[in-house]
Structure 1
Amino acid sequence: MLLESGQNSTTANSQSKQCRICLDDDNPNDIISPCLCSGGSAYIHRKCLNEWRSENAGGRGFKYCDVCKFEYIVESVSSDAKAERERLLKYYVFVIRDSTAIILLVQFVILVLAFLLKFMDRKSGNVKDLFPELIKGFMVYYLSAVILLLAIVGLITMIIFFCASLSRSSSTGNCNTNGMCSSVVAFIIVCALVGLIVGVVASVILLKKLMKHHASQLWLRQEAEKYIIKDFQDRRSELEQYKKKQNTDNTNET
């Protein structure tokens, strides 16, 4: 009977240790109690906590518990060259993945426009006549779709710029209509050139943002694994002493 009661208490104790993030009680060796939270919020998987710390954009969740506001007690571990290489590899993989997704999305839009142009030009053949004989088949409509997409981007950019200029100017002078005599093809080419410039600039800015985002995220993940949080299971008195010490230090600083 005593053996059975001991086993039941051990089972109940392990079942009560449920991760407050994934709400699972598997892998009990990875469950820690890093802060002053009690009840169902007292336990958390170290892996789940590191993921949360690495994804916290503001940085406060890296050091503090979001529930009880306790500052985690961290322990530094030696840096690993292999982990650093893996981090760099993940960084390049993520950047290439996102860049490839954007390129595929643009290609999908171009192909849709190309098929639409081919469908609209199936009888007249006006689009084919705009290109030299060296360019044949579907390449005609693909290049036309690229130019059309750039023209749309350029046209939208010029409309935005024109509206912004009108909002700054209060004059109501006469409109000069001499520029309206240009042909549709020339107008599309001008819009395409503007769209090309805008596309190149936007691509550079987007690539820089992707690189910065993944570098920051992977750096936080590496730091979360480098500075691990100390476990205080069944040692709540030590946590309370740390809390008093933190409060004393904060009072002295103010």
Structure 2
Amino acid sequence: MLLESGQNSTTANSQSKQCRICLDDDNPNDIISPCLCSGGSAYIHRKCLNEWRSENAGGRGFKYCDVCKFEYIVESVSSDAKAERERLLKYYVFVIRDSTAIILLVQFVILVLAFLLKFMDRKSGNVKDLFPELIKGFMVYYLSAVILLLAIVGLITMIIFFCASLSRSSSTGNCNTNGMCGSVVAFIIVCALVGLIVGVVASVILLKKLMKHHASQLWLRQEAEKYIIKDFQDRRSELEQYKKKTNTDNTNET
């Protein structure tokens, strides 16, 4: 009976410890209590916490709990050279993986446009006539798709810029419709010509921002595994001491 009651109490204790992120109580050995949160928010999987720390915007969630604002206590810092090399290798692999995924996505869009152009040009051959004889076969449609994609991106950028300029304009004068059609045609031509340059610049900027976001997120994920958060499970008194010490330090600074 005593053994059964002990097992029941252990089971009840493990069931009460539910991760506040994934709302699951599996893998109880990975559940920790890293902050001042209590009740259902007191427990969290270390893996879930590391993922949340790496994905939290602004990086503040890497050091602080987003609920109670408690600054996490680092229990230990891994200084193993081999583990550090493995983390760096994993980081570079993830960056290469994301870069490859973006490149493959762009190539997929280009190939779809190329096949569409080839299908539309199967009878007339107008697209082939735009290129010299040195460029033959599918390369004609591939290059045309690249130019078309950049032109579309540039055209959209120019339209957004044009609309933003109109919205900032406070002019309320009468609109002269004479030559309006010519202005529209000229605007489209200008957008098409400038579209290539704008498309290249916009694509490079977008790619750099995406890669910076992915790289910083992956790096934080690796750092979250390196800097281990201290577990205060069943040691709430020690946690309260950290809280009092922090409050005292803040009072002295004030």
Which category of TM-score, normalised to the shorter sequence, fits these structures? 0.7 to 0.9
Structure 2 Cα separation of the partners of residues 184 and 114 of structure 1: 28
Structure 2 Cα separation of the partners of residues 174 and 134 of structure 1: 53
Q: Could you say if the C-alpha distance between residues 50 and 236 of structure 1 is closer, same or farther in structure 2, counting changes exceeding 3 Å?
A: same
- Aligned twin of 1:83: 83
Deviates more, 1:122-131 or 1:179-188: 179-188
| Alignment RMSD | 4.1
**Is the Cα contact below 8 Å between 1:34 and 1:72 reproduced in 2?**
yes
Work out which of the two has the higher radius of gyration on C-alpha atoms and give 1 or 2.
Answer: 1
Q: CA offset at residue 13 of structure 1? A: 1.5
Q: CA offset at residue 186 of structure 1? A: 13
Q: Could you say if the C-alpha distance between residues 134 and 80 of structure 1 is closer, same or farther in structure 2, counting changes exceeding 3 Å?
A: same
Deviates more, 1:205-214 or 1:38-47: 205-214
**Is the Cα contact below 8 Å between 2:64 and 2:70 reproduced in 1?**
yes
Instruction: Give 5+ residue unaligned stretches, structure 2.
Output: none
Deviates more, 1:236-245 or 1:130-139: 130-139
Q: Say whether residues 1:220 and 2:220 are aligned partners.
A: yes
TM-score normalised by length of structure 1: 0.77
Structure 2 Cα separation of the partners of residues 185 and 133 of structure 1: 31
The number of aligned residues is 254
Q: Could you say if the C-alpha distance between residues 89 and 177 of structure 1 is closer, same or farther in structure 2, counting changes exceeding 3 Å?
A: farther
**Is the Cα contact below 8 Å between 2:95 and 2:215 reproduced in 1?**
no
TM-score normalised by length of structure 2: 0.77
Q: Say whether residues 1:252 and 2:249 are aligned partners.
A: no
Residue deviations 1:100-119, cap 9 Å, x none?
A: 33333333333333333333
Q: Could you say if the C-alpha distance between residues 177 and 80 of structure 1 is closer, same or farther in structure 2, counting changes exceeding 3 Å?
A: farther
Structure 1 Cα separation of the partners of residues 28 and 149 of structure 2: 55
Q: Could you say if the C-alpha distance between residues 183 and 148 of structure 1 is closer, same or farther in structure 2, counting changes exceeding 3 Å?
A: farther
Q: Could you say if the C-alpha distance between residues 39 and 164 of structure 1 is closer, same or farther in structure 2, counting changes exceeding 3 Å?
A: closer
Residue deviations 1:79-108, cap 9 Å, x none?
A: 233333333333333333333333333333
Q: CA offset at residue 180 of structure 1? A: 13
SS in 2 for 1:76: strand
Deviates more, 1:26-35 or 1:162-171: 162-171
Q: CA offset at residue 9 of structure 1? A: 1.4
Q: CA offset at residue 158 of structure 1? A: 5.1
Q: Could you say if the C-alpha distance between residues 11 and 245 of structure 1 is closer, same or farther in structure 2, counting changes exceeding 3 Å?
A: same
Q: Could you say if the C-alpha distance between residues 160 and 130 of structure 1 is closer, same or farther in structure 2, counting changes exceeding 3 Å?
A: same
Q: Could you say if the C-alpha distance between residues 125 and 252 of structure 1 is closer, same or farther in structure 2, counting changes exceeding 3 Å?
A: same
Structure 2 Cα separation of the partners of residues 68 and 180 of structure 1: 61
Instruction: Give 5+ residue unaligned stretches, structure 1.
Output: none
